[in-house]
């Protein structure tokens, strides 16, 4: 009888710990600091799985659309928009009262080829391309006016050395494509925040290019509210000093700072340049896919330490940072299982493959913050 009671108590404790008590909710830990967001995919946005829905609602107060509002999904053909995901996404955001992000209006990836071509498959001219881009912004940002609270207007337009990326946008329209995009987004939804978003913004040369141009836009009266630092980190790179300098520089240039796509890759990065690696099956490699059957305590401790130091830094600069968004809900759906090579088992987030919280890491983050 007593044993049965103990067992019942134990299983009840387990049940409740899986639902994470208030003290461990990320959005509560950082309630006075910044929004805590999560990128959601098409299955999660309208999921019948109660675990998914309650995890999103309990832990996060901001949402980002992982892929569903990218051009190829929302506007696959010239005369066809597909708003199924977007409508479900904003409905979820409204239901849980989240600060809801749009991602992304203009990017060189996941954008169909037709966008840059006329009906004869010839490259579009500058005016035609800009007007096509403006129509897109009007249709997408216009539909969700007042429901999407901040937009990644332009994503990844700069090279590592701070020059403009030679994307189709830039090749056809020069840097004016960015100015036109921000102008249009501001006109379509004056109430939404507007962001420039990129990876490796911690790199000084890249950041200088971004900030110089953002300031140029501002001086011309074009509204840019924040610079998004994506935050796809590894265990030992970038350094805290590099991240911190990025936060400070963006703030001093007059923009809000957002960490928009946070995750920490725990796997070794194969060097693509090495000829031998090209023929290697990384998924079956003990060296490059070492945690196929579970992460070791040592690696998990490194992940915990990395997350704790990162969040301690963010907390130190909470007057500059308005949002920190994780790029995915749980390890099982992270893009890092398939990047930079396919089919590995990665552990970059704070919820595991069963969407259970990594309580030791979350506790460690919470203790650094308090
Ligand atoms: C970039 C994009 C994101 C996503 C990630 C990889 O960071 O901004 O939308 O595609 O790459 O998943």
pLDDT per residue as tens digits for the range 123-152: 999 999 999 999 999 999 999 999 999 999
Stretch 258-267: mean pLDDT: 98
% of the chain beyond a pLDDT of 70: 91
Q: Are 262 and 234 in contact (CB under 8 A)?
A: no
Res. 160: pLDDT tops 60: yes
Alpha-carbon distances, residue 228 vs 41, 56, 97, 150, 308 (angstroms): 20, 22, 22, 11, 21
What spacing in Å lies between the alpha carbon of 66 and ligand 1's midpoint? 8
The structure tokens 């490259």 sit at 123
Pocket test for ligand 1, best of 261, 262, 326, 346 (most atoms within 8 A of CB): 261
Going by C-alpha positions, the residue among 232, 241, 257, 218 that lies closest to residue 339 is 232
Res. 277: pLDDT tops 80: no
What spacing in Å lies between the alpha carbon of 67 and ligand 1's midpoint? 8
Stretch 349-353: mean pLDDT: 98
Which residue, by CA, sits nearest to atom 3 of ligand 1?
Answer: 66
Stretch 262-282: mean pLDDT: 75
Q: What is the pLDDT of residue 113?
A: 98
Atom of ligand 1 nearest to the CA of 232: 7
Q: What is the pLDDT of residue 283?
A: 84
Q: What is the pLDDT of residue 9?
A: 40
Stretch 173-197: mean pLDDT: 98
Res. 342: pLDDT tops 70: yes
Structure tokens at 344: 């590995």
pLDDT tens string 38-47: 999 999 999 9
Q: What is the pLDDT of residue 14?
A: 41
Structure tokens at 144: 């969700």
What spacing in Å lies between the alpha carbon of 120 and ligand 1's midpoint? 31
Q: What is the pLDDT of residue 313?
A: 98
Go through the domains of the chain in sequence order and give each one's CATH number.
33-369 (3.20.20.80)
Q: Determine if ligand 1 sits within 6 Å of the CB of residue 335.
A: yes
Give 282's pLDDT tier (boundaries 50, 70, 90).
confident
The structure tokens 């998990």 sit at 300
Q: Determine if ligand 1 sits within 6 Å of the CB of residue 261.
A: yes
Least confident span in 18-27, 63-72, 179-188, 307-316:
18-27
What spacing in Å lies between the alpha carbon of 156 and ligand 1's midpoint? 9
DSSP state of 124: P
Distance CA(190)–CA(150), nearest Å, equals 10
Q: Determine if ligand 1 sits within 6 Å of the CB of residue 230.
A: yes
DSSP state of 294: -
Q: What element of type H or E holds 88?
A: helix 84-96
Stretch 79-90: mean pLDDT: 98
Average pLDDT, the chain: 93
- Residue 136: Cβ within 10 Å count: 20
Q: Are 86 and 143 in contact (CB under 8 A)?
A: yes
Give 280's pLDDT tier (boundaries 50, 70, 90).
low
């Amino acid at each position: 009888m007593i044993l049965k009671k103990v067992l019942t108590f134990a299983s009840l404790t387990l049940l409740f710990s899986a639902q994470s008590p208030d003290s461990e909710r990320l959005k509560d830990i950082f309630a006075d600091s910044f929004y805590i967001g999560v990128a959601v995919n098409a299955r999660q946005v309208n999921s019948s799985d109660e675990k998914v829905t309650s995890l999103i609602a309990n832990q996060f107060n901001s949402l980002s659309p992982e892929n569903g509002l990218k051009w190829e999904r929302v506007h696959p053909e010239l005369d066809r928009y597909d708003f199924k995901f977007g409508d479900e996404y904003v409905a979820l955001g409204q239901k849980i009262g989240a600060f809801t992000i749009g991602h992304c209006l203009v990017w060189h990836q996941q954008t169909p080829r037709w966008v840059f071509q006329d009906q004869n498959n010839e490259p579009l001219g500058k005016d035609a391309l800009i007007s096509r881009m403006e129509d897109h912004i009007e249709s997408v940002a216009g539909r969700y006016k007042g429901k999407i609270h901040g937009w990644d207007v332009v994503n990844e337009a700069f090279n590592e050395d701070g020059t403009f990326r030679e994307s189709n946008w830039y090749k056809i329209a020069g840097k004016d494509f960015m100015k036109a995009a921000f102008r249009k987004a501001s006109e379509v939804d004056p109430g939404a925040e507007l962001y420039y978003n990129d990876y490796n913004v911690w790199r000084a040369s890249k950041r200088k290019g971004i900030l110089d141009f953002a300031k140029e836009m501002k001086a011309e009266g074009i509204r840019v509210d924040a610079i998004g630092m994506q935050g796809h980190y590894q265990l030992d790179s970038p350094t805290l000093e590099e991240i911190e300098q990025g936060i400070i520089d963006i703030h001093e240039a007059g923009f809000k700072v957002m960490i928009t796509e946070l995750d920490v890759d725990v796997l070794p990065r194969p060097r693509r340049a090495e000829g031998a690696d090209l023929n290697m099956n990384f998924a079956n490699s003990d060296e490059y896919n070492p945690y196929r059957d579970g992460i070791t305590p040592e690696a998990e401790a490194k992940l915990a330490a990395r997350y704790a130091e990162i969040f301690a830094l963010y907390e130190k600069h909470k007057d500059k940072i308005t949002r920190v968004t994780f790029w995915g809900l749980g390890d099982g759906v992270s893009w890092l299982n398939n990047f930079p090579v396919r089919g590995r088992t990665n552990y970059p987030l704070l919820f595991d493959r069963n969407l259970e919280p990594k309580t030791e890491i979350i506790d460690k983050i919470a203790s650094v913050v308090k």
